[in-house]
């Protein structure tokens, strides 16, 4: 479609983004989705990127994995996002336990604690295509006041359904944060930066932002990445 550091790279990546880009894990129900964000010390950014990439490749082969990949932020190469999905909680827990050694190896290269968000699938669809070298991936955290959660849920669902059809879209999924039904993570993939920029000016996106803004409990947090491969 994950202790904190163990969750970060122990069970944290989802939505199949294989070596050439996301393949997309279209499963909800009992599936577990986790998104985590971490920052490496600048001199260690390349080493962390290589280690995370290796972990992602190995984790995709584990039983119950729906998808597992990592992203490096565009313009901030010391910042990473890990995004993974598992068939159920048992599969995720097995992965997390097995990744303890990796956690111990990488933790000294990180500048602070990892931010981890466990999710359930909200609007999930298989990716329409695999991304090439120019593909851009976007992770957006949407936080609205509790009273606006139902309206926000409708808005993000409609946006996903519409924007999956836009030119250049590879992936457009919505996850809901466990225990916080007024928080969502939107995961997008686009074949190029231009395709993403064009999507921002699409009528569907502009209408979404106009209706969402009055509901927001925090700033709209949207970050751009390339896939580590």
Burial group, residue 17, by CB count within 10 angstroms (0-12, 13-18, 19+): buried
Query: Tell me, what's the pLDDT at 119?
Result: 93
Backbone angles phi, psi at 185, to 5 degrees: -120, 125
Query: Tell me, what's the pLDDT at 69?
Result: 81
d(CA 85, CA 180): 19
pLDDT in tens, 180-213: 999 999 999 999 999 999 999 999 999 999 999 9
pLDDT in tens, 31-74: 999 898 899 999 999 999 999 999 899 999 999 999 888 999 99
CB 189 within 8 A of CB 136: yes
Domains of the chain: 4-227 (3.30.70.100)
pLDDT-derived band at 28, boundaries 50, 70, 90: low
pLDDT-derived band at 2, boundaries 50, 70, 90: very low
pLDDT in tens, 73-109: 999 999 999 888 999 999 999 998 888 888 778 888 9
pLDDT in tens, 111-159: 987 787 889 999 998 888 788 899 999 999 999 999 999 999 999 999 9
């Amino acid at each position: 479609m994950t202790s904190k550091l163990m969750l970060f790279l122990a069970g944290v990546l989802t939505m199949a983004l294989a070596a050439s880009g996301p393949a997309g894990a279209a499963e909800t129900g009992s599936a577990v989705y986790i998104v985590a964000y971490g920052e490496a010390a600048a001199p260690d950014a390349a080493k962390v990127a290589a280690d995370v990439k290796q972990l992602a490749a190995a984790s995709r082969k584990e039983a119950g994995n729906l998808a597992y990949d990592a992203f490096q932020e565009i313009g901030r190469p010391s910042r990473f996002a890990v995004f993974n999905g598992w068939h159920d909680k048992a599969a995720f827990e097995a992965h997390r336990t097995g990744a303890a050694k990796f956690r111990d190896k990488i933790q000294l290269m990180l500048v602070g604690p990892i931010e981890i968000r466990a999710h359930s699938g909200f609007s999930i669809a298989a990716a329409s295509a695999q991304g090439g070298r120019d593909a851009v991936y976007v992770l957006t955290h949407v936080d609205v006041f509790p009273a606006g959660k139902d309206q926000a849920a409708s808005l993000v669902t409609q946006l996903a359904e519409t924007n999956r059809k836009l030119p250049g879209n590879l992936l457009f999924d919505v996850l809901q944060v466990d225990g916080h039904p007024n928080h969502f993570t939107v995961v997008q993939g686009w074949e190029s930066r231009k395709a993403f920029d064009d999507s921002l000016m699409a009528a569907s996106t502009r209408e979404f932002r106009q209706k969402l803004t009055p509901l927001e409990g925090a700033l709209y947090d949207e970050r751009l990445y390339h896939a580590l491969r």
